[in-house]
């Protein structure tokens, strides 16, 4: 018992001392004034990590590039990252910690449910919070505050692009929709896809649901097979890792209709998991594509990435991660300061020419809606192919 007591005391002592040290580093005297700290409250572990971890690498690359070219407003930039662990409460806590340690802007996880808490903390502290890829229309000034942004197109755009592609380009008229009720992203993506597809004149045969983590789609499969008339295609709004299992199970059981979805499909492990046998007739829209054709200057970017991380870029999510840092830098330069309100104003009023394309946000009154194009991608025998940048003819109201 005595030993246990000693161990507990030791653990407590370490726990008390460590954050103390960390806090000292962040606010320590003159250091604070000659560098600009950007806080990344991204999720380096857990279900959100496949999106956030590459984004963090992209952000690190951008910071290196900024510092090599003189930093922001003549000051060096420091990126401090704490793991949000794919837990909304932890994300909020680490964002608060980063702000206490002197962060002038916060990079929030790429989803409303996971990233929202970081943006709320940023808003509370009066600084800009921006997510690389949160695509829920809730991610903006209306729900989170006038200094909060997302670099991603909203699901209104993401859903409309594939709806128009299916209806206009492919001539498909009927769809079976499976919506994962996991997070706001998966739910709202289906919603806007359906709105636009029905508006065009398409017919939704059935709206089915799925829950991330169930690891079984036998119920949905049975219903698809029991349909008197087969739909032209299947729209699945879900998330990795279960997405791979869903598409594989459908294909294995003889469902050959094309499968369409959003940016959660943009994961190399999904392409590999489907392989040459099942990785065909899959279409989705996303934030970019790892090629010069889609993003001029990609080769340069890839070379820099490979030099820093000793591995080739493997996921598209590094590009928005790179761009959020660049957008923060450009906005701070334009504002001439790191003041949250001034930076947010600069973000609202300027058009940004970024690595993933041109971007213009609407003002705070209309929600900071991002005006951005989507990259349409198809999958054939497990190999992705870039089909082009698309701005939908009509975007549903959020």
**Residues engaged in binding another protein (CB under 8 A):** 44-47, 49-50, 53, 181, 206-211, 213-216, 218-220, 222-223, 240-242, 244-245, 248-249, 252-254, 267-275, 277-278, 315
| Pick from 51, 48, 46: nearest CA to 114 | 48
Minimal distance, residue 226 CB to another protein, in Å:
10
Residues near 41 by beta carbon (within 8 Å), at least 6 away in sequence: 82, 84, 91, 94, 95, 98, 106, 107, 108, 109, 118, 121
Cα separation of 94 and 90, whole Å? 6
Cβ proximity to another protein: between 210 and 322 the closer is 210
Minimal distance, residue 321 CB to another protein, in Å:
14
Cβ proximity to another protein: between 208 and 333 the closer is 208
Cβ proximity to another protein: between 240 and 359 the closer is 240
Q: Which residues of 343-376 are buried (b: 16+ CB within 10 A; e: fewer)?
A: bbbbbbebebebbbbebebeebeebbbbebbbbb
Q: Across the strands, what pairs with 203?
A: 174
Minimal distance, residue 32 CB to another protein, in Å:
31
CA distances from 397 to 20, 154, 234 (A): 47, 11, 24
Cβ proximity to another protein: between 249 and 337 the closer is 249
Minimal distance, residue 308 CB to another protein, in Å:
17
Minimal distance, residue 264 CB to another protein, in Å:
12
Q: Is the Cβ–Cβ distance between 131 and 323 less than 8 Å?
A: no
Cβ proximity to another protein: between 193 and 271 the closer is 271
Q: Across the strands, what pairs with 48?
A: none
């Amino acid at each position: 018992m005595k030993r246990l007591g000693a161990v507990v005391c030791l653990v407590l002592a370490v726990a008390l001392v460590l954050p103390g040290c960390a806090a000292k580093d962040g606010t320590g005297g003159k250091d604070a004034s000659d560098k600009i700290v950007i806080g990344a409250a991204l999720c380096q572990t857990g279900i959100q990590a496949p999106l956030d971890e590459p984004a963090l690498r992209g952000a690190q690359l951008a910071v290196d590039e900024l510092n090599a070219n003189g930093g922001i407003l003549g000051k060096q930039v420091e990126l401090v990252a704490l793991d949000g662990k794919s837990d909304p409460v932890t994300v909020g806590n680490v964002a608060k910690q980063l702000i206490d340690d002197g962060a002038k802007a916060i990079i929030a996880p790429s989803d409303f449910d996971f990233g929202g808490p970081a943006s709320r903390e940023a808003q509370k502290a009066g600084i800009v919070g921006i997510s690389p890829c949160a695509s829920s229309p809730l991610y903006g000034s209306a729900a989170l505050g006038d200094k909060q942004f997302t670099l991603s197109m909203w699901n209104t755009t993401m859903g409309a692009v594939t709806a128009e592609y299916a209806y206009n380009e492919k001539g498909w008229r009927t769809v079976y929709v499976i919506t994962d009720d996991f997070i706001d992203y998966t739910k709202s993506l289906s919603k806007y896809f359906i709105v636009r597809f029905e508006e065009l004149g398409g017919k939704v045969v059935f709206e089915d649901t799925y829950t991330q983590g169930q690891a079984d789609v036998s119920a949905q499969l049975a219903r698809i097979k029991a349909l008197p008339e087969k739909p032209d295609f299947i729209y699945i709004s879900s998330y990795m890792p279960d997405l791979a299992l869903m598409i594989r199970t459908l294909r294995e059981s003889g469902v050959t209709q094309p499968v369409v979805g959003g940016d959660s499909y943009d994961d190399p492990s999904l392409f590999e998991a489907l392989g040459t046998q099942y990785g065909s007739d899959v279409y989705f829209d996303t934030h970019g594509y790892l090629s010069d054709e889609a993003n001029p200057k990609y080769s340069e970017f890839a070379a820099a990435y490979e030099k820093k991380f000793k591995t080739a870029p493997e996921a598209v999510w590094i590009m928005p991660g790179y761009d959020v840092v660049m957008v923060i830098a450009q906005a701070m330069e334009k504002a001439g300061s790191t003041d949250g309100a001034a930076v947010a104003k600069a973000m609202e009023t300027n058009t940004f020419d970024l690595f993933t394309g041109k971007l213009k946000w609407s003002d705070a009154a209309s929600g900071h809606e991002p005006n951005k194009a989507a990259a349409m991608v198809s999958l054939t025998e497990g190999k992705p192919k870039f089909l082009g940048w698309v701005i939908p003819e009509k975007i549903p109201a959020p």
